[in-house]
Amino acid sequence: MPVIYDVSMRILSGIQPSGTMHIGNYLGAVKQWVDSQNPEAYYCVVDLHALTLEIEPAALREQTTDCVASLLAAGLDPEVCTLFIQSHVPFHAQLSWLLECVSSYGELSRMTQFKEKADRQEGYRVGLLTYPVLMAADILLYSAQQVPVGDDQRQHLELTRNVAERFNNRYGEIFTIPEGVHPPAAARVMDLQEPSRKMSKSISSPLGSIYVLDEPAEIEKKIKKAVTDTENEVRFDWETKPGLSNLLEIFSSFEGSSPEVIASRYTGYGALKSDLATLVIESLAPIAERYRELRSDPTAINAVVLHGDDKAAQVAGPVYRRAAAAMGLI
């Protein structure tokens, strides 16, 4: 597998505390965060983004702590990188407003994720439309050069670059233009039951998503029941075999070999599914175990976050103030 990170680069990424972490989040983003962590890496739980859809306050509170515990369990080391909560660093919301004033309604309303989410509800929140501007603020406040995210965030990254360039042209060179970094395999993990749709926290068929904290028996059942095709010929081909290709990419991401090499080892779906189930169970078990230990001590989690919030604010504050001053705020 190619090395995709230059660890001397400033990195920022975020994850919403809007549900339990699934293997799409893990393989598409979080595994990369762990591999690329260094003193220049900033990772945040984007609780403000979670408010763009209806969520119970009590659930958001719990899920935010769950999310921090999951990230630590997955391998983020707060002695190495900075892990913080978006809403605890007020500059995110403040810069978001400034950037809203250099973004257009047209470009925001063209975002695919906005259109999909807005289509599913009547009277959607304005925050759903402005969501990518807040994401741009998250990234630009840290002068991030690299943003490790799944494939679904490409468009938001492009918007961030456009907004940053527009700002710099109009008000002066304040922001670094970031680049999205996507994993070589499993950058878009699909729903196991509906391989035309991405695995998602918000909409998912009961057997469609594998969660990092799933019990082994559940993982096995979901993989065995994953939708494939009737050919029983193991070939990596997204066009004609999306279900199987999704399984091969998941396999590839956990194992490190290419999907084609893995495909060449099997002559039928049964053995492939059975080996994949073993691999996924073995890979996730240590994370689930660490999660349970960590989650039983919310005070320790809180201490990690407070430390991270403080470090994050020290970087974000000066950038915010430069941006505000450049726009004419006194």
Residues lying near ligand AMP in the complex (CB under 6 A)? 15-16, 24-25, 28-29, 149-150, 152-153, 187-189, 198-199, 201
| Shorter beta-carbon distance to ligand AMP: residue 37 or 153 | 153
Q: Is residue 13 a contact residue for ligand TRP (CB under 6 A)?
A: yes
Q: Which does 198 bind (CB under 5 to 8 A by kind): ligand TRP, ligand AMP, none?
A: ligand AMP
**Which of 98/161 has CB closer to ligand AMP?**
161
Residue 167: Cβ within 10 Å count: 23
189 touches which of ligand AMP, ligand TRP, none (CB within 5 to 8 A by kind)?
A: ligand AMP
Q: What is the pairing mode between strands 146-148 and 82-85?
A: unpaired
Q: How many alpha carbons lie under 13 Å from residue 123 in its C-beta half-sphere?
A: 1
| Choice between 161 and 273, CB closer to ligand TRP | 161
Choice between 98 and 213, CB closer to ligand AMP: 213
- 8 A C-beta contact, residue 85 and residue 44: yes
Q: Cα dihedral sign for 258, 20, 108, 99?
A: negative
Catalytic choice (31, 115, 117, 225): 117
Dist CA 262 CA 19 (whole Å): 31
Active site residue 198: yes
For ligand TRP, what does the binding mask look like between residues 100 and 139, x meaning CB under 6 A? -----------------------------------x--xx
**Nearest distance, CB of residue 72 and ligand AMP, angstroms:** 16
Residues 21-50 that bind ligand TRP (CB under 6 A): 46, 49
Minimum Å distance from CB 17 to ligand TRP? 10
Q: Which long-range contacts (CB under 8 A, 24 or more apart) does 313-317 make?
A: 313/88, 313/89, 313/91, 315/42, 315/141, 315/142, 315/143, 316/89, 316/91, 316/92, 316/95, 316/141, 316/142, 317/91
Active-site annotation holder among 201, 222, 273, 311? 201
Binding partner of residue 28 among ligand TRP, ligand AMP, none, CB cut-off 5 to 8 Å per kind:
ligand AMP
Return the percent helix, strand and coil in the chain, to nearest 5: 55, 5, 35
Q: How far is the CB of 175 from ligand TRP (least distance, A)?
A: 14
Residue 201 interacts with, from ligand AMP, ligand TRP, none (CB under 5-8 Å by kind): ligand AMP
Residues 130-189 binding ligand TRP (CB under 6 A) are 135, 138-139, 147, 149, 153, 156
Query: Closer CB to ligand TRP, residue 201 or residue 295?
Result: 201
Q: Give φ, ψ of 137 to 5 degrees.
A: -60, -45
- Minimum Å gap between C-beta 300 and ligand TRP is 25
Cβ distance 212 to 206 under 8 Å? no
Torsion angle (degrees, nearest 10) of CA 242, 184, 73, 223: 20
Helices 57-74 and 298-327 pack at an angle, to 10 degrees, of: 100
Size of interface with ligand TRP, in residues (CB under 6 A): 13
Burial call 6-17: b when 16+ CB within 10 Å, e when fewer: eeebbbbbbbbb
Please, which residue, 198 or 241, has the CB nearer to ligand AMP?
A: 198
**Side-chain-facing half-sphere of 135: CA atoms under 13 Å:** 30
117 is catalytic: yes
Instruction: State the catalytic residues.
Output: 117, 198, 201
Binding site for ligand TRP (CB under 6 A): 12-14, 16, 46, 49, 135, 138-139, 147, 149, 153, 156
